Structure 1
């Protein structure tokens, strides 16, 4: 894209990422000499279909705020400081700018999460900190939508998050190549980019990527430890602090204020140097029932005195 004109590159995004950043920049430069259309005549989709999505939790203020909201705890657990923790989320429910996001049917506490995502462009295993930046193709905005009530309940099991997260993520509005941010990297590799989020045109949160506990270089290195990263993988920064999600503010003020997102709410995220990602909250749809677990007397089974089929279903509320 140049100005408000969009130029077509004659390869798919998958091919562009696999070609590597230098080749992609060459293809982009060549495309500028070709035909173009006005940006306002184009409908933007998610800039890529991720191969995998790792979402980190790299902002200390966010961790502290959500811990206070969820269980009334103060501070951050020691384990957070040891390494950049992450979870895998669902690449199949990714949408882009302008998409209407439907929450799960059981959700009563829908939340957004303002993040920046690094897009991997070069494969690697056990990548060093010194080489990590060479594996990043570019950056985009990530909204890691969260059903807080579902998430809270399922994580009581000590596993997850799962259905509290995997129903939706949005990426966009486009991928800005890593070379565009060289001048914004400090000596430790952190990017000083302003991040804001508004709900219905009202400012809810603002922070800087410079407040990450780990740089994206560290996220790349850790993701590839004893494993692989490949072109098309997405590494989320985790939610920024200072109102990067509603749950952080709920803990700070004691009540769910601002309230959870409702159908029709418009969430607008802006990151300096990348652009603006805007989505609207939709309505839920009906889903099939799944029964709760049955209660089993394991001692009687081991003694050969009970048939598990005789036990009733346990009602879970």
Structure 2
């Protein structure tokens, strides 16, 4: 049988280091080509993997059965809706969008065309963490959880290629690494029913959630920590005591697992648990947190 064709939209460091290698090496799919906003970057990335660099995004969509995205979220969202309306399955990056309206447009396009979708929240697909998350969701009995994700993207001496990302500079850790924390807390503790948010130094944000299960959780996220203070962890506390999420690695392998999930969902018609609807819910929660932060700042300015 002909392997599904997956086109790649985006040419930045994430596309170059993770998505393109994973798609090119996937045994059950074919990388059908690359399109990017910078034609020279698209040509270089496509040439590295022996595929076509498309000058028009619609031409890539037409030549593909599914589309993977490596774009800023609010560039991703309208193009994803466009691809879904054309009947193409979607492998989205997180967050789906940084506005609720943008994320809802993608959901509407997916539901209208009946295509499959997967949002690449790394922890939901990494070999070490995905089974741990499923195990804790099944176990239940949780009192509270604590997520801690401090990156040093904007810390002193940072040489990260992602530090040049304008959208990360504007939206900070809340939108960049906040989705990772929520992608674990939601399936384990249940939907967020209430939240509070407090801004720390630089882009650091502290969040407190109440969940549908009755449990509570906290999350501290940011991208401006000193390198010596950077790190990520998620701990759960309940009837089995404290349970810590294992460490993870291998972004390329994790993305390959997300491709597996998309192909399976497209084949069976069964929605994946980490699909565009979860992406919308994460966007809604982060937008609410951003609103709370704005309210807190307004109160402080008025005092």
TM-score, normalisation: structure 1: 0.23
Q: Which has the higher contact order (CA 8 A, sep 6+)?
A: 1
Give 1 or 2: higher helix fraction: 2
